[in-house]
């Protein structure tokens, strides 16, 4: 069964474009294909196009045969979403990766989807510009992937999300037809704003083949503060009062002790939590923000205020963004909770309050107080510890622990007007849950279903992975 598909695609797109199983038999198990597995399901073939005509031809071919296509960029965020309903072709876009049109004077850039954030940022810096997007593992994460997964980082408080910077998009649809929306100008109401629809749609509506962004001037200066606090409550209170000031930082995170340990924050070994403040901008303004913020944190009960300049500040920013995604920090369970900003404090209080004797003590927590998002992470050994007292084997402890944690978090978030997305969990857990767990109402889901139906009637693009198993 495998050979024909790979062979057909090699004939259609050329041998260089198709990752052929080496040797005839047992092709589906070759290690190369395994690298592209999603939730343990390896594709039958991997296609690595370098032009959009090949993408269009692939999609036409797939539509005619009802073959499922899973687009991907650097594979950084490919664990997001529910277990796919069908996995046939992995469409690896990382080789379709040129910067097509960079206009520093117009503050715009147009790229192919496979360019990595790091490569793009370097190129933009040469012209003095900056795209305020963030993603875990920016050396691997592609712009197409960042858009599809709606990745973000601590600067989201000041700069918003990918949706706020994307100005134009071209997509090859499930029918193999390329279409566009938006354009290359920074302000545009010509036609519906489909940029918004594609952003965060996890590749379920089309394959992004080109994207245009507006840009910001490159930041002259970066800096950060890391301030340990005796308790999470004290850190949250200080963080909230800081974010309300005129001199507020561009990004503000509160991390609890288990997360701080993973971030190698060591200023105070007794600290219950840290406030991390990130600054970017003009030198004098960064200077004042940092000074006044440091003073306020000191007055609010920080046991120390460590000041990081330029490179160290940016390194910390990267570490926070990568937490949970870099090899040594991948959790057994990872959840993103989206909340109104003030509810983040409430959520944390609820978790901390309950956790005294329970698993919560080992729950890593990174909370963005300005924007309103909290990442909750449990690393494998914490489940094992929790399970040490009982007879269950470790794997079952992870499953049972994850399921109850997810349920608890969904209920908490819901009561606060928020939503939970499970970003990491064991395959056995994923098999039992909807990772988007009730984040939309039935009326919204109905519109989403119709969108999916109208865009991809055969359900061939990333089938089953999105909200409502679309």
Partner 1 sequence: MQRQGFIDRLKAIVGDDYVIAHPEDLLVYEYDGSVDRAMPRAVVLPASAGEVSRTLALAYQEGVPVVGRGSGTGLSGGALAPPGGIQIAFTRMNRILEVDTENRTATIEPGVINLDLDNHVRKFGMRYAPDPSSQKACSLGGNIAENAGGPHCLAYGATTNHVLALEVALEDGTMVNLGGPAREVPGYDLRGVFVGSEGTFGIATQITVRLLPLPETVKTFLGIFPDIESACSAVSAVIGHGIVPAALEMIDALSIRAVQQVTDAGYPEDAGAVLLIELEGLWEEVDEVSREVESALWETGAGEVRVAEEDRERERLWLGRKTAFGAFGAIAPNYYLVDGVVPRTRLSQVLRKVSEVSEKYGIIIANVFHAGDGNLHPCMLFDGREPGVTERAMAGAAELMEYCVAVGGTLSGEHGIGLEKKQFMPLVFTDADLAVMRRTRDAFAPANRLNPGKIFPDDDGFYQIVPQPTPPPGDTGMYV
Which residues within the stretch 190-229 sit at the binding site for partner 1 (CB under 8 A)?
A: 190-194, 196-197, 199-201, 205, 216-218
> DSSP alpha helices (H): ranges in 189-282?
194-198, 232-243, 257-262
Q: Is residue 448 within the footprint of partner 1 (CB under 8 A)?
A: yes
Q: Which is nearer to partner 1, 118 or 247 (CB)?
A: 247
Q: Is residue 398 within the footprint of partner 1 (CB under 8 A)?
A: no
Strand order in the sheet with 99-103: 99-103, 108-111, 207-214, 166-172, 178-182
- Asked whether the beta carbons of 42 and 87 are under 8 A apart, the reply is yes
Can you read off the two tokens belonging to residue 365? 């927590």
The footprint of partner 1 on residues 140-159 (CB under 8 A) is 150, 152, 156
- Asked whether the beta carbons of 364 and 256 are under 8 A apart, the reply is yes
Helix (H) or strand (E) holding 400: helix 394-415
Single out the residue of 180, 261, 408, 469 in contact with partner 1 (rule: CB under 8 A): 180
Q: Is residue 310 within the footprint of partner 1 (CB under 8 A)?
A: no
Residue identified by tokens 């592609």 is 142
Single out the residue of 419, 430, 462, 463 in contact with partner 1 (rule: CB under 8 A): 419
Can you read off the two tokens belonging to residue 419? 């939503």
Q: Which is nearer to partner 1, 76 or 421 (CB)?
A: 421
Single out the residue of 10, 28, 304, 440 in contact with partner 1 (rule: CB under 8 A): 440
Q: Closest distance between partner 1 and the C-beta of residue 446, in Å?
A: 8
- Asked whether the beta carbons of 76 and 140 are under 8 A apart, the reply is yes
Q: Is residue 455 within the footprint of partner 1 (CB under 8 A)?
A: yes
Q: Is residue 414 within the footprint of partner 1 (CB under 8 A)?
A: no
Q: Closest distance between partner 1 and the C-beta of residue 316, in Å?
A: 22
Single out the residue of 22, 24, 26, 105 in contact with partner 1 (rule: CB under 8 A): 105
Residue 116 and residue 287: Cα distance in Å, rounded?
A: 31
- Asked whether the beta carbons of 92 and 47 are under 8 A apart, the reply is yes
Q: Closest distance between partner 1 and the C-beta of residue 272, in Å?
A: 24
Q: Is residue 441 within the footprint of partner 1 (CB under 8 A)?
A: yes
Single out the residue of 366, 421, 429, 461 in contact with partner 1 (rule: CB under 8 A): 421
Q: Closest distance between partner 1 and the C-beta of residue 50, in Å?
A: 23
* The Cα angle at residue 411 between residues 406 and 413, in degrees rounded to 5: 90
Q: Is residue 373 within the footprint of partner 1 (CB under 8 A)?
A: yes
The interface mask with partner 1, positions 322-341, x = CB under 8 A, is ----------------xxxx
Q: Closest distance between partner 1 and the C-beta of residue 244, in Å?
A: 8
- Asked whether the beta carbons of 275 and 302 are under 8 A apart, the reply is yes
Neighbours of 401 (CB within 10 A): 21
CA-based nearest residue to 467, from 447, 429, 438, 443: 438
Q: Closest distance between partner 1 and the C-beta of residue 38, in Å?
A: 18
Q: Is residue 108 within the footprint of partner 1 (CB under 8 A)?
A: yes
Can you read off the two tokens belonging to residue 230? 């005796």
Q: Closest distance between partner 1 and the C-beta of residue 93, in Å?
A: 20
Alpha-carbon radius of gyration of the chain: 23
């Amino acid at each position: 069964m495998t050979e024909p598909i790979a062979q057909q695609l090699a004939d259609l797109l050329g041998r260089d474009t198709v990752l052929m199983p080496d040797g005839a038999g047992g092709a589906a198990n070759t290690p190369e294909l395994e690298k592209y597995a999603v939730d343990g399901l390896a594709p039958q073939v991997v296609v690595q196009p370098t032009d959009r005509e090949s993408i269009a031809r692939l999609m036409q071919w797939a539509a005619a045969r009802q073959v499922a296509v899973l687009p991907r960029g650097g594979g950084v965020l490919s664990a997001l979403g529910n277990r796919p309903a069908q996995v046939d072709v992995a469409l690896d876009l990382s080789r379709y990766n040129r910067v097509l049109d960079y206009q520093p004077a117009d503050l715009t850039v147009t790229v192919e989807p496979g360019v990595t954030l790091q490569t793009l940022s370097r190129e933009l810096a040469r012209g003095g510009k900056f795209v305020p997007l963030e993603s875990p593992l920016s050396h691997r994460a592609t712009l197409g992937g960042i858009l599809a997964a709606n990745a973000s980082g601590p600067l989201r408080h000041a700069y918003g999300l990918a949706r706020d910077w994307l100005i134009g998009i071209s997509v090859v649809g499930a029918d193999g037809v390329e279409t566009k929306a938006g354009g290359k100008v920074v302000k545009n109401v010509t036609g519906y704003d489909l940029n918004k629809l594609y952003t965060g749609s996890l590749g379920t509506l089309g394959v992004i083949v080109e994207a245009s962004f507006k840009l910001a001037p490159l930041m002259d200066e970066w800096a950060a503060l890391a301030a340990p606090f005796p308790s999470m409550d004290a850190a949250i209170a200080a963080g909230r009062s800081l974010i309300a000031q005129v001199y507020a930082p561009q990004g503000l995170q509160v991390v609890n002790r288990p997360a701080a340990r993973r971030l190698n924050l060591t200023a105070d070994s007794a600290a219950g939590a840290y406030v991390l403040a990130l600054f970017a901008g003009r030198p004098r303004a960064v200077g004042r923000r940092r000074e006044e913020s440091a003073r306020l944190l000191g007055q609010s009960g920080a046991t120390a205020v460590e000041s990081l300049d330029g490179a160290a500040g940016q390194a910390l920013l990267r570490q926070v963004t990568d937490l949970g995604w870099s090899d040594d920090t991948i959790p057994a369970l990872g959840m993103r909770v989206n909340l109104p900003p003030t509810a983040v404090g409430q959520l944390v209080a609820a978790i901390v309050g309950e956790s005294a004797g329970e698993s919560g003590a080992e729950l890593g927590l990174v909370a963005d107080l300005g924007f309103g998002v909290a990442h909750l992470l449990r690393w494998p050994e914490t489940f094992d510890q929790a399970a040490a007292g009982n007879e269950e084997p470790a794997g079952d402890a992870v499953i049972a622990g994850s399921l109850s944690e997810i349920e608890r978090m969904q209920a908490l978030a819901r009561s606060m007007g928020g939503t939970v997305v499970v970003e990491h969990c064991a395959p056995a857990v994923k098999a039992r849950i909807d990772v988007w767990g009730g984040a939309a109402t039935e009326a919204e889901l109905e519109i989403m279903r119709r969108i999916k139906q109208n865009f991809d009637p055969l359900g061939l693009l990333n089938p089953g992975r999105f909200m409502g198993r679309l």
